[in-house]
Amino acid sequence: MKLHGWIDAYLSYLRVERALAKNTLEAYGRDLSGLAAHVGDVEPAEIGEGEISSLLAANVRAGFGARSSARQLSGLRGFFKFLVRERVIPVDPSALAERPKLGRRLPKVLSFEDIERLLAAPDLTTTRGVRDAAMIQLMYASGLRVTELVTLRVGDVDMKRGVVTPIGKGEKGRLVPVGEVALQHLQVYLDAVRPLTAKPNVHWLFLSRRGGRMGRQGFWKLLRRYAKVAAITAPLSPHKLRHSFATHLLRGGADLRAVQAMLGHADLGTTEIYTHMTSDHVRAAHARSHPRA
């Protein structure tokens, strides 16, 4: 069987054995099609380190960015490991290929002034505004992911202790403290608004107007609506609120490991990206204030 046949076999393996999502499978298919277009429908054993290097060089000439080339190389390595496991080839020809260096992309955050305007945007004289304010206040106060926010249950909020217990990636739960202001908004929502739409045996914390669970897309839409009210011109997403939470905590002197625990990061290195942003903030403050700056 030649290269095209083994690519089909690998994609079938990913679909059946690994149960990868459709979009992920399509991305792998595109990357492997790029390899096949470059070397032809050859025997896999005919592909060596030179062919992999020339493919990556051709990517650069075609205008591929470092991130795209790195992603393709990662996909190729998975394919060749599969071929080694199936004893089609003796060694992985991509193993020694140098991974393109990626620039560190710093997450974009809102200024504290933007946050203040966003938090003040919902109309608290309406039931919808009370719910929306509780959601936005909680997200900024706790740094939850949007999925964690909309899948919270009433029992996941401990008002007395001032903590929420979201279920994060890998079905791992964690305790996250919540500030007093956000708790006050939550209490008003729980007392005066949620009972108006809550149905028996529905335990989701945040409900739609029909009484079902508030969805990810619904929260995205309300956030964009309030961004316009708050005159925030930069694109706003739930994840930008999470980035803002982490950055503002560190600028206020929070411990890095405490922020890691609140965000639910398994690796401290993931959290450390925010220290680069706070370092920029410190340097800017020094440049503004120091007489010899």
Active site residue 38: no
The reply to whether 216 falls in a domain is yes
* Local confidence band at 192 (pLDDT 50, 70, 90 cut-offs): very high
274 is catalytic: yes
Both tokens of residue 175? Answer: 């305790």
What is the per-residue burial (b if ≥16 Cβ within 10 Å, else e) of 238-254? bebbbbbbbbbbbbeee
Active site (annotated) includes residue 281: no
The CA distance from 134 to 184, in Å, is 8
The parent domain of residue 56 ranges over 3-85
Residues 154-171: what's their mean pLDDT? 87
Q: What is the arithmetic mean of pLDDT over 160-169?
A: 86
In the residue annotation, 2 being an active-site residue is answered as no
| Residue 13 bears catalytic tag | no
Average pLDDT of the residues of the chain: 84
Shared domain check, 282 and 184:
yes
CA–CA distance from 80 to each of 31, 43, 45 (Å)? 13, 13, 10
List the CATH number of the domain containing 248.
1.10.443.10
Clarify whether residues 201 and 268 are in a common domain: yes
Q: What is the pTM of this model?
A: 0.60
- Active-site choice (18, 67, 85, 169): 169
User: For residue 79, what is the domain's CATH number?
Assistant: 1.10.150.130
Considering the domain architecture, whether residues 284 and 192 belong to the same structural domain is answered as yes
**Residue 172 sits in the same domain as residue 260:** yes
- Is residue 163 domain-shared with residue 274, that is, in the same domain? yes
Residues 136 and 21 in one domain: no
For residues 277 and 206, membership in a common domain is answered with yes
**One domain for residues 156 and 207:** yes
CA angle 150, 162, 260 (to 5 degrees): 70
Confidence at residue 268, expressed as pLDDT on a 0 to 100 scale: 72
Confidence tier at 290 by pLDDT (50, 70, 90): very low
Kindly give, in sequence order, each residue whose CB lies less than 8 Å from that of residue 1, ignoring residues fewer than 6 positions away: 9
CB atoms within 10 A of CB 182: 22
| 28 a catalytic residue | no
Structure tokens at 120: 């003040």
Q: Is 162 inside any structural domain?
A: yes
Number of domains forming the structure of the chain: 2
Q: Which of 194, 242, 243, 248 is catalytic?
A: 242
Element holding 55 (H helix, E strand): helix 49-61
Considering the candidates 131, 145, 185, 240, report the single residue annotated as catalytic.
145
Asked, for residue 100, whether it belongs to a domain, the answer is no
Query: Active site residue: 18, 239, 257, 286, which one?
Result: 239
